[in-house]
Structure 1
Amino acid sequence: MTGAVRSPWWRHAVIYQIYPRSFADSDADGVGDIRGICTRLDYLQALGVDALWLSPIFRSPMCDAGYDICDYLDVDPLFGSLDDLDSLIDQAHRRGLKIILDFVPNHTSDQHPWFMSSRASRDSDKRDWYIWRDQPNNWRAAIGGGSAWSWDEQSQQYYLHFFLPQQPDLNWQNPQVVAAMHEVLRFWLDRGVDGFRVDVVHCIGKDPHFADDSRCLAGEAMVHINDQPYSHEILRGLRRLVDSYSPGRVLIGEVNIRSTRQVAAYYGASDELHMSFNFPPLDANWDPVIFRLCIREVESELGPLQAWPTWVLSNHDNSRHRTRYGGSELRARAAAVLLLSLRGTPFIYQGEELGLEDVLVDAQTRVDPGGRDGSRAPIPWTLRPPHGWAGGSTWLPFAPQAGASSVQAQSGQAGSVLELYRRLIACRRASLALTTGAWQELPSHPQVLAYRRWCDDDERVVCINFSDTEQVFALSGQWQVQLASDRQGEGCPFTGRLAGEQAVILYRGRHDNELASDHDHLPD
């Protein structure tokens, strides 16, 4: 019990990702905004999540949905004002919800005053804030797939951009850049922000020799292969800054490398990232072999380092997992049990709790230059159109079956996906085993993933049937079904039978109601 009580809040939290332009709209312009988020805080509190991560809300030309920032210290008028964000932070904190902002350190917009000064002249005092070369190497950009270098006619050199040409990369070898970006973090920490999701943090360190990379010849973008020692030095500086504030501020890294061993290095000696996203599950199909390997790799690579894992199945850059798993609601339900019962911090992407699928976007409707619009459709709040978006039209169309999937249609409905998420989060919150407990894989049928979670005398077993047919397997001891993804068998002894695509959480020992009083006293 002692280890669990001392754990920081983010180890036992459920974090909810908000894509602001698609979450809730307050001014009827068809684009979600910060005031819209404020109107839905009661919903998020009732869902049971602990923290909200907001995708970028800073001033931006919006060439890459806000990841091209022209002012790190202000809110884009599309989303509201700085006062609106201060109000959101205050209202969230009064409800016990923490706020995490998206920090984009690798690049700015080409409209940022820093870059406009940098390109104005080779003699500019901001010239070395970005990366300029007379000759490009073979590095490739992540969006568009072309060269990561663009020619600047005005100053007669090439500049580096791992993403769009409108997103020039900053030169973190320049101490002035480091100091300026530290001031950005201080600005938001001083306003009460609880942490940052750090965008492509591994990319900020570049090969000092700017050598050609043979992997680029095979079409690899640098964002997926860049991995330099200097990034770790930069991260240690960011961590020292964040840790200098009140306890509980957190750095969550997007290290977009598919090697868990390489990602583990970005935790450092507990002096770099507090957590880093775990990407292999975002690529995975609904397959027990793949997920077994993913989980084993996380446990074997992060466990010895005492590095805390994360789990995420969908986000703003990837197809929703229900779509990826073939559109089956049963699979989406089972996946929810998986997400919220593994050892580590789960991240729920907005709309997962509604079982949403990707929206179909044609050439006329497409907005994102990277083709990622599918998972970014607006949240349907009400049963009937315009589904809680007062203006009657939205910046993207709604996902299929928006009315039936809406919050209004699912709230209070015992069998709905939304109520499953609420029950799952409550089940997790009430159990030290499911929040901070240990993990052990159990022998089971090849189509069933089974594992044990425990902390002191609190113990749970989770079983997930990946097949669409009933599976039978032996499980040592006597267990009760506490929660089932399809509600079948809850409160009954577990017989070893799992219906097709069913997932269950089993318990024995002290009941959850007795455990809740312990867990409620975990520190903030």
Structure 2
Amino acid sequence: MTDRQILTADADWWRQAAVYQIYPRSFADASGDGLGDLRGIADRVDYLRELGIDAVWLSPFYPSALADGGYDVDDYRDVDPRLGTLEDFDAMLAALHEAGIRVIVDIVPNHTSDRHRWFREALASPKGSKERGRYVFRDGRGEKGEEPPSDWISYFGGPAWEPVGDGQWYLHLFAKEQPDLNWDEPEVNEEFLTTLRFWSDRGVDGFRVDVAQLLLKDIPEDPQQIMSKAEADAIDRTTGEHPFEERPGVHEIYATWREVFDSYDPPRTAVAEAWVSSPEQRARFARQDSLGQSFNFDLLEADFDAEQFRSIIEKNLAISEASGSSTTWVLSNHDVVRHATRYGLDPVAGTGRKGGAQWLLEGGAADAVRADAGLRRARAASMLLMALPGCTYMYQGEELGLHEVGDLDPDSRQDPTFLRNPGVDVGRDGCRVPIPWSRGGASLGFGETDAAPHLPQPEWFASSSVEAEDCDPASTLSLYRRALELRRILQADEELEWLETGAEGVLAFRRPSGWVSVTNFGAEPAPLPEAISESGAELLLSSGPETGEQTPAEVPGEVPGETTLWLRG
């Protein structure tokens, strides 16, 4: 067994980890039913080990009706039978650990599914009962409660309240199949503490906490006193006075979670998905007496632009230093248009939408994407991220350079954001299409039978399959493997020194080990900064076509357009 395969008891492993997000239903299908599963993940452990990651984050694999891709959870302490069993989970976990890969699982605390035993009990119980008290039930307005308690809109579109037939309504900030829990009820937190111990006892290394900022609500019992949507929208969320966004008491809940995490050796990690309105708010989730780390989505929302990247990097490194945590870097995940496509689209003037969102709404026409430029920029941005201090997250398929599948037939789409918002939101299915493993076959190697995958794969996926890229030294897969290998060797302290480039659109920085990253965001070549060209540095890796270099090479005199170079010296 190599050192790479030995998991140590390092309590700080997460601070500069490379984490690979797996959307289980779209990763690998061992059962042949068209849906990815846990045995499929276990079967691909060698691939993950060769990629060079430190951990995987598993999106929900719990029993679910899939009203929201598994984020509508029926039972937090079991596995969806379509994805496997608890025994399959244990076998997958053991295989990943043996390969030196840690495991982070998704926890969804804001809401359950409407099939959860608690919600079924709530519907079968009267108004004012303990069972209904676990959720956010309120009387409706009108003589018989026939109108919703307020005009709030869910994040997925449509009313945020659903009637139950007796004059009461329940709150669902997402789909109606996702009733919000009442975190003022202590039993709710106790239930989740039990769940955290359940998975930690099985050997899980950490938790990703879904919409961590939303748990607490301040909603009067009298519907006449509930503020309107306009009133809520007018509130400055940084004050903590919004009825359900960013209420400061949520950290008292997470302090009890931290006690559970710290009772294990090594302590279990946690990272907050917290879409908050200020850096200071995000830093609170990253404190060591709260969840310990919080997602930084700023680069995910940025253009391929040097000024934006530098500003975001500087801001987030300062935030992480203030909180005592490390920051996280991410360009793609299961909720957004893949960054290879985003970078190949132009922002749409006057629409308030970035190019990717508008492109999806207009049908995702392939000819609108400058695919080569998008992929070239994506490779450069990904290499820059992997050179930064902090934790790098990557989404399955980005290591293959996959583009978004924008032209899915409406009948194939599953995302509730599309189903509830026709013509307004096309949804997130295009980044959740099962990834291709081989050049041919009914599902391009995703499944072991001819069963159609749960979302259709386009023909062009074949050329970006693992089989197609595996032995190609210029492929995006080869780039990621080499970059992750170098990252492991070169990483040191969580420090960064900016270097003067003398050129607009070129960013360069040095890490303490002597590792230098230079990114040219412009389309034309730019001179290599003098501080590097005169230092006798050696070229380690380029995001461009010469990525096949496996040994140090002579340093070029310039940086090609839309390219990142790694050097040492």
Specify the alignment match of 2:481 in structure 1: 422
Structure-1 separation of matches of 2:31 and 2:529: 56
Does residue 267 in structure 1 map to residue 286 in structure 2?
A: yes
Specify the alignment match of 1:381 in structure 2: 437
Specify the alignment match of 1:203 in structure 2: 214
DSSP-derived class of the 2:496 partner: strand
Specify the alignment match of 1:280 in structure 2: 298
Q: Which moved more, 1:257-266 or 1:239-248?
A: 257-266
Structure-2 separation of matches of 1:119 and 1:90: 40
Does the 8 Å contact 2:216/2:244 carry over to 1?
no
DSSP-derived class of the 2:387 partner: coil
Specify the alignment match of 1:363 in structure 2: 410
Does residue 226 in structure 1 map to residue 245 in structure 2?
A: yes
From the superposition, tell whether residues 147 and 440 of structure 1 become closer, same or farther in structure 2 (CA, over 3 Å): farther
Pairing 1:28-427 to 2, within 5 Å after superposition: 28-120=32-124, 121-135=126-140, 136-144=149-157, 146-153=158-165, 155-207=166-218, 211-212=227-228, 214=230, 226-268=245-287, 270-326=288-344, 327=371, 328-359=374-405, 360-370=407-417, 371-386=427-442, 387-388=444-445, 389-392=447-450, 393-399=452-458, 401-427=460-486
Deviations 1:259-314 (A, max 9, x none): 3332112123x111221111121212212222122112102222233221001100
Does the 8 Å contact 2:64/2:74 carry over to 1?
yes
From the superposition, tell whether residues 276 and 224 of structure 1 become closer, same or farther in structure 2 (CA, over 3 Å): farther
Does the 8 Å contact 2:217/2:243 carry over to 1?
no
Structure-2 separation of matches of 1:211 and 1:256: 22
- Which structure: greater strand fraction? 1
Q: Which of 459, 463, 469 is the matching residue for 2:524? A: 469
Does the 8 Å contact 1:45/1:95 carry over to 2?
yes
Pairing 1:428-507 to 2, within 5 Å after superposition: 428-433=487-492, 436-444=493-501, 445-454=503-512, 458-476=513-531, 477-478=534-535, 479-486=537-544, 488=546, 491-507=552-568
Q: Which moved more, 1:184-193 or 1:205-214?
A: 205-214
From the superposition, tell whether residues 400 and 352 of structure 1 become closer, same or farther in structure 2 (CA, over 3 Å): farther
Q: How many Å apart are 1:401 and its aligned residue?
A: 2.0
Deviations 1:51-72 (A, max 9, x none): 1111100011111111011111
What amino acid is the match of 1:14?
Answer: A
What amino acid is the match of 2:509?
Answer: Y
Deviations 1:379-409 (A, max 9, x none): 1111113311233311112256211101011
Structure-2 separation of matches of 1:224 and 1:62: 28
CA RMSD of aligned residues (A): 2.4
From the superposition, tell whether residues 148 and 40 of structure 1 become closer, same or farther in structure 2 (CA, over 3 Å): same
Does the 8 Å contact 2:16/2:389 carry over to 1?
no
Structure-1 separation of matches of 2:83 and 2:231: 39
From the superposition, tell whether residues 224 and 53 of structure 1 become closer, same or farther in structure 2 (CA, over 3 Å): farther
Does the 8 Å contact 2:211/2:275 carry over to 1?
yes
How high is the TM-score relative to the length of structure 1?
Answer: 0.90
DSSP-derived class of the 2:105 partner: strand
DSSP-derived class of the 2:479 partner: helix
Deviations 1:438-459 (A, max 9, x none): 01332322211222211xxx22
DSSP-derived class of the 1:300 partner: helix
Structure-1 separation of matches of 2:312 and 2:94: 38
From the superposition, tell whether residues 245 and 465 of structure 1 become closer, same or farther in structure 2 (CA, over 3 Å): same
Number of residue pairs the alignment of both structures matches: 496
Structure-2 separation of matches of 1:272 and 1:234: 8
DSSP-derived class of the 1:422 partner: helix
What amino acid is the match of 2:191?
Answer: A
Does the 8 Å contact 1:481/1:506 carry over to 2?
yes
From the superposition, tell whether residues 279 and 225 of structure 1 become closer, same or farther in structure 2 (CA, over 3 Å): farther
From the superposition, tell whether residues 66 and 405 of structure 1 become closer, same or farther in structure 2 (CA, over 3 Å): same
Does the 8 Å contact 1:258/1:280 carry over to 2?
no
Q: Which moved more, 1:310-319 or 1:91-100?
A: 91-100
Does the 8 Å contact 2:306/2:521 carry over to 1?
yes
Structure-2 separation of matches of 1:249 and 1:374: 33
Does the 8 Å contact 1:129/1:174 carry over to 2?
yes
> Unaligned stretches of 5+ in structure 2?
1-8, 141-148, 221-225, 345-370, 418-426
DSSP-derived class of the 1:185 partner: helix
From the superposition, tell whether residues 224 and 66 of structure 1 become closer, same or farther in structure 2 (CA, over 3 Å): farther
Sequence identity percentage: 42
Structure-2 separation of matches of 1:164 and 1:223: 21
Deviations 1:495-522 (A, max 9, x none): 55111111011111xxxxxxxxxxxxxx
Specify the alignment match of 2:348 in structure 1: none
Q: How many Å apart are 1:122 and its aligned residue?
A: 1.4
Does the 8 Å contact 2:518/2:566 carry over to 1?
yes
From the superposition, tell whether residues 140 and 85 of structure 1 become closer, same or farther in structure 2 (CA, over 3 Å): same
Structure-2 separation of matches of 1:166 and 1:325: 34
From the superposition, tell whether residues 385 and 259 of structure 1 become closer, same or farther in structure 2 (CA, over 3 Å): farther
DSSP-derived class of the 2:440 partner: coil
DSSP-derived class of the 1:229 partner: coil
Does the 8 Å contact 1:200/1:223 carry over to 2?
no
